[in-house]
Amino acid sequence: MMEPIVPHKKLEPGVFQGRPDIPESEKIAPPRLIRTMKSDMADAVKNQNESVVSIAIAEEKKKATARAESSTIKTQTENLSPAPKPHGRIIVVIVVLLVITALVLAYIFVLPKFSNIKLPDISIPSFPSLGKPTTGETTATTTEPIISLAPSLIPAQSEKRLNITNKTREQIFDEISDELGEGATAGLIKNIYFEESSGAEPTAISANRFFVFADISAPEILTRSLEKPFMIGFWGEENWDATPFMILKVSGYDTGFAGMLDWEKDLPRAFDLLFGTNINTELKSKIKFQDIVALERDARVVEAPSGKTISYAFANENTLVIAGSEKALEAIIPVAGKN
């Protein structure tokens, strides 16, 4: 049977009406168009009546806002303080360790020295109790005087003061011998300080005054060149031995050395008188000094059969050192040469 003929709609000119001969089920929807900036701008111009200029201005505002926000974030980031570096912590740890080390060393080495310091005894005055009337009487306070070491030509660690007033030379010699017999620790210097009471307080005597008191004979060329300061003492050697020495100040090297050469024949006797060495007795007038070198200085020495010696040298142009051993002479010369 033939299908009835359906009359076609009247077609409008210029308008696509589809293909009448294709069923509706076979018709395919046209693909969707992809949106682009150009199409969006066209729609905006068409739908919102906006111009291209206004759109460009809006885009520029967005870019300016984005740039302002980026600049603000950058400024805030720069203003933030940088994170602390680990070097600062290391320095703090090192400083703390140094302080702890210093405290430990002070506790080990310094504190024991302070504990050995003896403070002088000071009497504290007594005050009346509160509420009791005072009688007007004051309590006398006594403080023991602190006696400092007497001045000496070289630094001394101890001393013995001998006042020759109303004493014989034998008494003074005995006291010197007693001090020598007590000995001294190695390297210690003990000063025998001679004084005389001629006024309110005792004063130190001169070298010439001591020579006259002790009846020590010396050539005039030497005694005239002697200056007032002098020193007699002991220097500690090994085994608690004490070696006597004498330091004289002279006005000049030439006269002092000439006087010593002339005094060599009587020097052992002077040592025997002062220190009881018995060197003169052993030598039996066979006194002969010999040249030696002590600390690169010209020196002279005489030796007794027992091994006891007397040696002397000039520490400087005006300082003469006489000692009971070469070892003591070499120990005293550098110190005496500083004066």
Give the tens place of pLDDT for each residue, 21-57.
Answer: 555 555 555 555 555 556 665 665 555 555 555 666 7
23 part of a folded domain = no
Place 240 in a pLDDT band, splitting at 50, 70 and 90.
confident
Q: Which regions of the chain does DSSP assign to beta strands (E)?
A: 158-163, 189-196, 203-204, 226-236, 242-250, 290-294, 297-303, 309-316, 319-323
Domain that holds residue 215: 158-336
d(CA 18, CA 327): 140
Q: What is the DSSP string of 276-321?
A: ---HHHHHTT----EEEEETTEEEEEEE-TTS-EEEEEEEETTEEE
262 part of a folded domain = yes
pLDDT of residue 183 exceeding 50: yes
- The least confident of 69-83, 92-106, 127-141, 265-279 is 127-141
239 part of a folded domain = yes
Across residues 300-327, what is the average pLDDT? 95
Question: Are 312 and 260 contacting, i.e. CB atoms less than 8 angstroms apart?
Answer: yes
150 part of a folded domain = no
298 part of a folded domain = yes
pLDDT of residue 239 exceeding 80: yes
Place 142 in a pLDDT band, splitting at 50, 70 and 90.
very low
217 part of a folded domain = yes
Burial of 76 (0-12, 13-18, 19+ CB in 10 A): exposed
- Per-residue confidence (pLDDT) for residue 21, from 0 to 100: 53
228 φ, ψ (degrees, to nearest 5) = -65, -45
Q: Is the pTM of this model over 0.75?
A: no
63 part of a folded domain = no
317 part of a folded domain = yes
Number of compact structural domains in the chain: 1
Nearest Cα to Cα of residue 311 among 289, 334, 279, 335 = 289
3 state DSSP class of 60: helix
pLDDT of residue 305 exceeding 70: yes
